[in-house]
Homo-oligomer: A and B are copies of this chain.
Amino acid sequence: MTTEIFNKQKTIDLRKQHIGPSCKVFFSHDPIKIMRARGQYMYNEKGERYLDCINNVAHVGHCHQEVVQAGAKQMELLNTNSRFLHDNLVQYAQRLQATLPEQLSVCYFTNSGSEANDLALRLARQYTGHKDIITLDNAYHGHVSSLIDISPYKFHQLGECEQNQHVHVAPSPDIYRGKYREDHADPATAYADDVKDIIEKAHAKRHKIAAFIAESLQSCGGQVIPPVGYFQKVAQHVRKAGGVFIADEVQVGFGRVGTHFWAFQLQGEDFIPDIVTMGKPIGNGHPVSCVVTTRAVAEAFMSSGMEYFNTFAGNPVSCAIGLAVLDVIEKEDLQGNALRVGRYLMDLLEKLKERHPLVGDIRGCGLFVGAELVKDRLKRTPATAEAQDVIYRLKDQRILLSADGPHRNVLKFKPPLCFSREDADLAVEKIDQILTDLENALGLPVSDHLNAQNKRKEPVEENGHGVPSGGSHHITKTNKRRRT
């Protein structure tokens, strides 16, 4: 058992004194002090266990022994920069490449998702000779200056929001709350046409498009799953304009979506981005990230004459850890687990939706799952305060969940991939109780009403009230768009 250096209050006081006040803690009125973690569980200073439903960085489970040992072993041997040859670097690049379509063959290692996305922009601008970037509304791509500029999720937080003139914001392809919804005949084309319009308007102002960038599934943006075919159509428009397609897989890649290793693959085999960025999960907490692109983009970047050197990136320790993470995903079939447990979790949540008027939408792929809370299912009024309430009450029961999206009303599941059915049962059971309490307090309609609402909007379950006997066939039916 590990012991505290300071008691909790002293830790809080020192943090106030010495850590930038812009760096927020979870649950600021009563933050959590975590001392150790293993798998999908974290333990506070009293040894109390929390179920971690949100840590998409501890991808193969907190403190996985194999990853820890690979890191420790390499730290003892060598940790230096990539200006020396090292087998770990090339082996890791080779292994990453093997997960991707063949033409995505050239890697640049970096230390964080932000460094990766910034480099992606530099690659795109150098390759195309263009400057403008199209990003999605509510997107988050990182914290460095160039990425704040393309992250409406961040720059909307600023009072005076002076948008960079080389950045264009396209509507988020959110078919629950966005511009074109699930009742639209072809939302993929409609959303892609909006990107086409943006390109035409930019051209009219003599601006030229360097890239379209999007998370393959919007994460901070509210667990948004773009309609299948959207990326293909966008890529067509963007490439016609001389730009490239950047798929940001920092939060959603590496097997999380269950059916595929990369989330962009959900769009179909005919879609291949020009640049893919990866980060968070790939080092299971160790600062490592990567940009992968085509030979053509890489050659153009080199032709600028500017060397790319990144002090820490691609060091033998980061690569050893990265390799171990890939090994564990494979050995423990974590992608398969994400698929199976993700489907199970979706089933449970769909059942919640049948009984709880606060639940407006359930969407997800693998262990990337969102439950959008609304005060009114027809108007889809965001239940922001209620979502916060759920999060806080879960915390009291030692379950860590978060709420995100532009209205902070989407409950987000993005747990370590070792998350189990029992974990899903526990989390959903608690959410069930909390929603019941909240709805009672709000005097919200009961489930009969729900059923009527469901009839209006969606194919209905045989028994809107009932608790189906498990399996996922009925979900697959009602929720096809989420299960590519």
Contacts and interface: CB of A to CB of B under 8 A. Distances in A.
B158 A305 contact: yes
Contact of A108 (B23, B65, B306): B23
Given A80-B42, A145-B122, A317-B286, A302 B158 contact: no
A86 interface: yes
Given A72-B68, A112-B111, A158-B305, A83 B26 contact: yes
Nearest to A55: B80
A228 interface: no
Contacts of A299: 21
B309 A24 contact: yes
A114 B112 CA distance: 11
Contacts of A327: none
Interface in A82-122: 82-87, 89-91, 93-94, 97, 105-108, 111-115, 118-119, 121-122
A212 B253 CA distance: 40
A464 interface: no
Interface in A113-142: 113-115, 118-119, 121-122
Contact of A145 (B25, B76, B145, B304): B145
Contacts of A318: 287
Interface string A51-77: 000010110001101001001100111
A89 B159 contact: no
Chain copies in the assembled complex: 2
Interface string A1-24: 010111010011011011111111
A118 B94 contact: no
Given A75-B68, A111-B112, A145-B122, A157 B22 contact: no
A108 B144 CA distance: 13
A80 B37 contact: yes
A28 to B, nearest CB: 10
Contacts of A378: none
Interface in A142-159: 143-146, 148, 154, 157-159
A94 B306 contact: no
A229 interface: no
A308 B285 CA distance: 18
A433 interface: no
Contacts of A63: 75-79
A20 B298 contact: yes
B85 A62 contact: no
A35 B78 contact: yes
A8 to B, nearest CB: 7
A453 interface: no
A430 interface: no
A265 interface: no
A19 B305 contact: no
Nearest to A251: B311
A106 B75 contact: no
Contacts of A447: none
A112 B115 CA distance: 9
22 contacts: A6-B91, A19-B108, A20-B108, A21-B302, A22-B301, A23-B108, A23-B308, A24-B83, A33-B85, A37-B79, A42-B80, A57-B80, A57-B311, A63-B75, A114-B144, A115-B143, A119-B143, A143-B309, A143-B310, A146-B146, A157-B304, A287-B312
